């Protein structure tokens, strides 16, 4: 089954126009570069305008690349890919790649393109783009939702038509009064003039605010220049006690070197003292042991003599 799966994958990739030859030996060991190249090629074949980054140098880049491709296929083509198997980049990854190639290959066959009649040159020139179809599908869904909302609003408006018809007929039947119309026009003109005046006042305020901002910016620039000049002056001036400070720092460095030397010597002497004390302790314990052994031996000899004397008596 694995050989058949790989054979189908290579045939479909050749029919889709993949420019390189793929063999089973390419996937005996993990080959992430080839898997990423095939994935990117399939994504570009599905939607040429996609912007998935092709960087796979580091481990973080590879994880991001696999996640981006899996998310793209899940949202655009409704194909669920196993990211772990793709990251392995071995024979298991071929089964995941076969999911994408099967969809593209099936779509190509529905258009009447015969795989056996395609030469290698014609396959490289074959362009298969579903981006426009997806765009048409999105536009159709949007139009359907708009039609539904427009139909609902139209139904509500038609329900109010009975009341509106009476009001409309009454307004049409009423004679037009010139004085009232003139009065309404004057009111409308006054409202428009008031809005125009408000707009002019707002423009004047904007111009004033702009002038104030420019003045503040200029003031800040002058302060910045003065601060920079002062900084340069401070950097160029040598402090009054710098010479004394450098001498004291040099003496401190010498004292520190002397301190380190004495500290190392003290540590070495303490270690020698500990070794000497340990040696003395060991010698003392050895002498005590020898003394104890001699005492035990004398006691044994004394007891032996006592036993031998009692026998002679």
pLDDT score of 111 more than 80: no
Please give the Cα distance from 22 to 33 (Å, whole number).
13
Residue 69, number of CB atoms within 10 A of its CB? 22
Location of structure tokens 């399939």:
42
Location of structure tokens 């190392």:
264
Check residue 118 and give its pLDDT. Answer: 43
Residue 41, number of CB atoms within 10 A of its CB? 16
Check residue 284 and give its pLDDT. Answer: 94
pLDDT tens digits for range 225-259: 999 999 888 878 777 788 888 899 999 999 999 99
pLDDT score of 290 more than 90: yes
Q: What is the mean pLDDT of residues 164-170?
A: 80
Closest CA to 45 of 83, 101, 114, 119: 101
Confidence of residue 122 (pLDDT cuts 50, 70, 90): very low
Check residue 115 and give its pLDDT. Answer: 45
With b meaning 16 or more CB within 10 Å and e meaning fewer, what string describes 250-260? eeeeeeeeeee
Its pTM surpasses 0.85? no
Please give the Cα distance from 109 to 280 (Å, whole number).
97
Check residue 124 and give its pLDDT. Answer: 44
pLDDT tens digits for range 2-22: 555 667 777 888 888 888 877
Check residue 29 and give its pLDDT. Answer: 82
Determine contact, residues 21/114, Cβ cutoff 8 Å: no
Check residue 312 and give its pLDDT. Answer: 58
Determine contact, residues 18/42, Cβ cutoff 8 Å: no
Tokens of 246: 């450098």
pLDDT score of 26 more than 80: no
Check residue 128 and give its pLDDT. Answer: 45
Burial of 176 (0-12, 13-18, 19+ CB in 10 A): exposed
Confidence of residue 281 (pLDDT cuts 50, 70, 90): very high
Pick the CATH number of 1-109 from 1.10.472, 1.10.10, 1.10.418, 1.10.287: 1.10.418
């Amino acid at each position: 089954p694995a050989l058949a799966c790989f054979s189908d994958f290579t045939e479909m990739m050749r029919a889709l126009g993949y420019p390189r030859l793929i063999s089973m030996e390419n996937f005996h060991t993990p080959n992430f570069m080839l898997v990423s190249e095939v994935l990117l090629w399939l994504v570009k074949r599905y939607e040429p305008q996609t912007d998935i980054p092709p960087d796979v140098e580091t481990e973080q880049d590879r994880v991001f690349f696999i996640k981006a491709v899996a998310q793209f296929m899940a949202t655009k083509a409704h194909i669920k890919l196993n990211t772990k198997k793709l990251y392995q980049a071995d024979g298991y990854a071929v089964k995941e790649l076969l999911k994408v190639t099967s969809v593209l290959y099936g779509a190509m066959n529905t258009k009447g393109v015969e795989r056996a009649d395609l030469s290698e040159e014609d396959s490289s020139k074959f362009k298969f783009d579903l981006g426009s179809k997806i765009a048409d599908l999105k536009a159709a869904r949007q139009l359907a939702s708009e039609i539904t909302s427009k139909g609902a609003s139209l139904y509500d408006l038609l329900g109010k038509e009975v009341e509106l018809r009476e009001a409309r007929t009454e307004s049409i039947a009423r004679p037009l009064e010139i004085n009232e119309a003139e009065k309404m026009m004057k009111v409308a003109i006054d409202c428009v003039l008031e809005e125009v005046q408000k707009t002019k006042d707002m423009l004047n305020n904007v111009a004033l605010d702009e002038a104030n901002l420019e003045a503040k910016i200029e003031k800040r620039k002058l302060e910045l220049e003065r601060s920079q000049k002062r900084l340069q002056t401070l950097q160029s001036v040598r402090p009054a006690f710098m010479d004394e400070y450098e001498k004291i720092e040099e003496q401190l460095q010498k004292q520190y070197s002397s301190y380190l030397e004495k500290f190392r010597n003290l540590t070495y002497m303490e270690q020698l003292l500990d070794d000497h004390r340990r040696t003395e302790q060991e010698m003392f314990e050895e002498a005590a042991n020898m003394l104890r052994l001699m005492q035990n031996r004398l006691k044994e000899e004394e007891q032996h003599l006592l036993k031998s004397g009692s026998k002679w008596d």
